[in-house]
Structure 1
Amino acid sequence: MTLNPHLISLATSSEELPTSVEEENLSPEERRVADRKLKKIRRKEEKKKRREEGKNEAEQSKTSSAQTQALEYLTCWSEKREQWKFQKTRQVWLLQHMYDSTKVSDAHFKVLLSYLEGIQGVARETTVQKAEALVRCGEGSEEAEGGATDYQKKAHRAREVVQILS
């Protein structure tokens, strides 16, 4: 027994799958088989959607988890120095995201500036280079636009970093 090609094309090509088979020229057994196949296709589509949604949620929670841990690391450095322990991954996250005001709030950024005073080695040199590059690019964008854009906020933060580290 074969499934009607029209039903297969409907089931595989359309976003919304039919709920049941309603063709008059099918026998009851053929309808039952066709209904089961359509149901199986619908379940596969639903499973695929759930899997994709799960990946997105996992990525978001992973990002927010890293952010939370890095900010807790910074807070521990400022408030409980005797319990604080250096963690390179947290420092790297902070250095990569310190110009983004949505990830590092202004209050945390002030603490981060104090933290940066003690930064050493290649991390210090790289941070200065990136900050100077951001300042140079930010100056060009200030002349083009009058408003305070996100990029200008990053440039302002970069200026503060350069002042601290130079």
Structure 2
Amino acid sequence: MKELKRRKKLKQCGAEEEQLVHKTEPKKKKQKLERTKKVEEEVEDLTAEERRTLERKLKKERKKEEKKLMREAGMAVRKEEPKKLSGAELALEYLARWSKKPNEWKFQKTRQTWLLLHMYDKEKVPDEYFSILLDYLEGLQGSAREVTMQKAEALMKEYDSSDTEDPGLLEKCERIRKVLQLLS
């Protein structure tokens, strides 16, 4: 049964290559196709490992040929890599999952650390997420809770001593106050 599937795959490979032959460079393609057919005839005498190796080689050649055809046609040959999310996006997604889907949520130290470091920055943690973050901070335990409270107190003292009326600073102070009230 497996051997039949392999033969079908090899025949399909031959059919695909035959289609390519008719599109471009007929002479070279026909020669290559003839070599492939000879190889397919010899496949029956090969062991399973040799057959797999041969199939891999044929697949590699097909891909190489496809890329060549794409280049000749003027199309860009580029692999699209999946978009990687930034640390901020991952942390905010983590927070949203905590609030909306608690059964799918799993604690991640790196995400919590990022949130605790950037929670006062309105650009990194928008207001809609900050309210969720405050709920999250209620469950904060151990040294993370203590350190967060100490840092908030230190920042509050620092900002109280400064005389600037910067709106961004006032927003940070407001967030710090909220965190201090919550953790006290």
- TM-score computed with the length of structure 1 as normaliser: 0.58
**Which structure 1 segments of 5+ residues have no match?**
1-60
What is the aligned length?
102
Name the amino acid aligned to 1:160. Answer: K
Counterpart pick for 2:179 among 157, 161, 164: 161
Equivalent residue, structure 1, for 2:116:
95
Equivalent residue, structure 2, for 1:118:
139
Question: Aligned partners of 1:132 and 1:147: how far apart in 2?
Answer: 20
Q: Cα distance, 1:137 vs. partner?
A: 1.4
Matches within 5 A, 1:21-60: none
Counterpart pick for 1:78 among 80, 85, 99: 99
Name the amino acid aligned to 1:145. Answer: T
Equivalent residue, structure 1, for 2:71:
none
Equivalent residue, structure 2, for 1:135:
156
Equivalent residue, structure 1, for 2:89:
68
Equivalent residue, structure 2, for 1:24:
none
Q: Cα distance, 1:147 vs. partner?
A: 4.5
Q: Deviations over 1:114-153 (max 9, x none)?
A: 0000000110000000011111112222xx23442x2232
Name the amino acid aligned to 1:93. Answer: W
Question: Aligned partners of 1:83 and 1:132: how far apart in 2?
Answer: 34
Question: Please, which moves more after superposition, 131-140 or 72-81?
Answer: 131-140
Question: Aligned partners of 1:115 and 1:147: how far apart in 2?
Answer: 28
Runs of 4+ in 1 over 4 A off after TM superposition: none
Question: Aligned partners of 1:79 and 1:127: how far apart in 2?
Answer: 24
Query: Do the aligned partners of 1:73 and 1:90 also contact (CA within 8 Å) in 2?
Result: yes
Query: Do the aligned partners of 1:113 and 1:161 also contact (CA within 8 Å) in 2?
Result: yes
